[in-house]
A and B are shown apart, each in its own frame.
Chain A
């Protein structure tokens, strides 16, 4: 007890900011290496590396994008922009945040509708992936160990080919004189080719095909750990196979379902390549608008605003959801 009191007393600043305070002001940049070597254990260093990585390559760029989103459109179409903070002569700070880009996003129906369309495509793609992926993951998890690795290999195998190539291959399959239409016409099922290219259908096909492994793998790793005697117990207590699945397997695989769904949903919202190659130009997804704003209109602030809005709108619900999920897991932990 005494010891901890003494330690608190020697700190420069109270609470959790103490070490940061020491780091920033008592040592200062020239002696940071010295501080790290003196105070950090090996464990902290190991954890520190990914933190540093995220700081440099995620947080800093994010802050730059955030700053640009509040800037004024420059006719040059590229930086430099006016700084956000400006020191005035009277010793005051001028903060200049233009929210014009964000207002524009809200008022422009094109943005709102492609935002909703992106969410819709991502949502249903996730549902389709789940419906396809769950039985597959289940089958792999219950297959004999000899075949299990082969099946897993087959799931991962497509990753050995370039993502772009695989999406291009779908054009060859889906277009009017593509493989599918030619075959159906040769067999005589249809007389005229079905228009599949440049439709939402093609976008769904592309996304579900590309992201299915991201659904299957976390589901598999969850399902594979299930204790099968629980199913025997459920059966013994009078639950038929369907009931046992609904009451035992499904609730216990929730963490896998959530992980897989997030891994599909998040990248699908921001998907650029698949809708550009397979989708129609009438209905654009949000990532396409972002790139058009950036490369065609050369309006960096608006493009940045789109990026920030996309991030916030995705991150906030996901964080809430994960917090809830963590609590559930905490309660379930053995």
Chain B
């Protein structure tokens, strides 16, 4: 029964409400701007977030993502623009009356209260909840975050991961319409972070709460999010699913910010609906792409190619006229699961290539330092951005 329901939920998620232009956003952020004096922290941001989503705001420090989150929580009021939650205008609603809860980056657990008291705090503020009801809801949420036996402890007696779960439980026990998470995994070490990421998704699916997550960590955004909004200098530069953001970045900034990328400046010499050609001096060759760019021929564009989409050949391929460049291996970093090669191509630019270590190779099968190699890629791999 439960699994059937969850599958139905997952199918609903697959329906991807953002593809439907008539869908009403559960959270609507309309032309929000926030200025601190002369500094524009958030610049005219509009967003629609749908029920049951995990939406990630991703960006470097100072990009305005935390300010946006704080405006949603009600700690900052926007200079202009409006926020609607479930159809209700949030402008005049103080934080303590919003059906929104937040998980703070520092967790902000009350040090003078036990875990149980911390979690019950929010429920005690609600009118018309009996003591037994509060107690049973606290017990239930402690069960969900697996902290049952720590109920009587104080925050300083817990580990970082346990504190993070208390903070999550404290925010979730109020059954908010919207949960805001500020760098939820930032304070955890790598192993714990990976485990917690999946736990977080499980809890979210179990309770069906809409999540907005703020993070600077693209890996965190990729695993958690149903959609990612990439922010830069107070503006949202691209919104899309993790795959869209990674595979089809729309600007140089997004391509560069998410993962690593090799960027070549070049001139568009042919642009047809089914193919395009770019001549790049930086590459020292021609890039052939199996789709159109729909830009003016002659325009200066950037071609972005992900390191894992490039092949290294030790002998020249038959056709070296397009999507091929010769170079010398300068650096090799063995990472275990994959190896990173830095190849200096003939034009002098360094190109980053990653290859999975599928097989154990003997010394003479392996690519070595200062070896001359040919780099090739498929015509579908490059992404062309114009700004």
Contact = CB atoms under 8 A, between A and B. Distances in A.
Given A229-B106, A252-B112, A332 B73 contact: no
Contacts of B125: 237-239, 243
Nearest to A328: B112
A146 to B, nearest CB: 16
Contact of B170 (A237, A239, A248): A237
A331 B154 contact: yes
A235 interface: yes
Nearest to B155: A334
Interface string B77-99: 00000000000000000111100
Contact of A229 (B95, B101, B104, B171): B104
Contacts of B106: 227, 229
B150 interface: no
A251 interface: yes
B126 interface: yes
Contacts of B101: 236-237
Contacts of B171: 236-237
Given A238-B126, A251-B112, A334 B156 contact: yes
A147 to B, nearest CB: 19
Nearest to A251: B112
A333 B154 CA distance: 10
B96 A248 contact: no
Candidate in B111, B154, B155, B156 with the most chain A CB atoms within 10 angstroms? B111
A230 interface: yes
B102 A230 contact: no
Nearest to B101: A236
B174 A238 contact: yes
B90 to A, nearest CB: 13
A234 B74 CA distance: 13
A87 B89 CA distance: 92
A236 B110 contact: no
A334 B126 contact: no
Interface in A297-334: 331-334
Contacts of A252: 111-112
A238 B174 CA distance: 9
A238 B111 contact: no
B104 A232 contact: yes
A86 interface: no
B102 A236 contact: yes
Measured as residues with beta carbon below 8 angstroms from the partner, the interface class of chain A is 20 to 34
Nearest to B95: A235
Contacts of B111: 252, 332, 334
B112 A232 contact: no
Given A251-B112, A334-B156, A232 B75 contact: yes
Contacts of A332: 111-112, 154
A234 B101 CA distance: 10
Nearest to A248: B110
B217 to A, nearest CB: 21
B71 to A, nearest CB: 13
Interface in A6-42: none
A229 B73 CA distance: 13
Contacts of A236: 73-74, 95-96, 100-102, 171
Contact of A237 (B94, B112, B156, B174): B174
A79 interface: no
Which of A236, A239, A244 has most chain B Cβ within 10 Å?
Answer: A236
B108 interface: yes
Contacts of A248: 110
Interface string A238-254: 11100110011001100
A30 to B, nearest CB: 52
B122 interface: yes
Nearest to A254: B112
A84 interface: no
B92 to A, nearest CB: 15
Contacts of A239: 96, 121, 125
Contacts of A230: 108, 110
A229 B111 CA distance: 12
A187 to B, nearest CB: 43
Nearest to A331: B154
Given A240-B96, A334-B111, A234 B104 contact: no
A230 B107 CA distance: 9
Nearest to A229: B108
Contacts of B126: 238
Contacts of B110: 230, 233-234, 248
A247 B121 CA distance: 9
Interface string B178-201: 000000000000000000000000
Which of B95, B101, B109, B174 counts the most chain A CB atoms within 10 A?
A: B95
Interface centre among A229, A244, A252 (most CB of B within 10 A): A229
Candidate in B104, B125, B156, B174 with the most chain A CB atoms within 10 angstroms: B125
A232 B174 contact: no
Given A237-B101, A237-B122, A243-B125, A232 B108 contact: yes
A227 B154 CA distance: 17
Contacts of B74: 235-236
Task: Name, among B73, B109, B112, the residue most crowded by chain A CB atoms within 10 Å (CB to CB).
Answer: B112
Contacts of A334: 111, 155-156
A248 B125 CA distance: 13
A334 B155 CA distance: 8
Given A238-B125, A239-B125, A333-B156, A233 B96 contact: no
Interface string B298-337: 0000000000000000000000000000000000000000
Contact of A238 (B104, B109, B122, B156): B122
Given A229-B108, A233-B110, A333-B156, 7 more contacts: A229-B106, A233-B104, A236-B96, A236-B100, A238-B125, A239-B121, A332-B112
Interface of A: 227, 229-230, 232-240, 243-244, 247-248, 251-252, 331-334
The 10 closest A-B pairs by CB, nearest first: A238-B125, A237-B122, A233-B108, A334-B156, A229-B108, A235-B95, A235-B96, A236-B102, A239-B125, A238-B96
Interface of B: 73-75, 94-97, 100-102, 104, 106, 108-112, 121-122, 125-126, 154-156, 170-171, 174
10 contacts: A227-B106, A229-B104, A232-B95, A235-B94, A236-B95, A236-B96, A236-B171, A237-B121, A237-B174, A238-B126
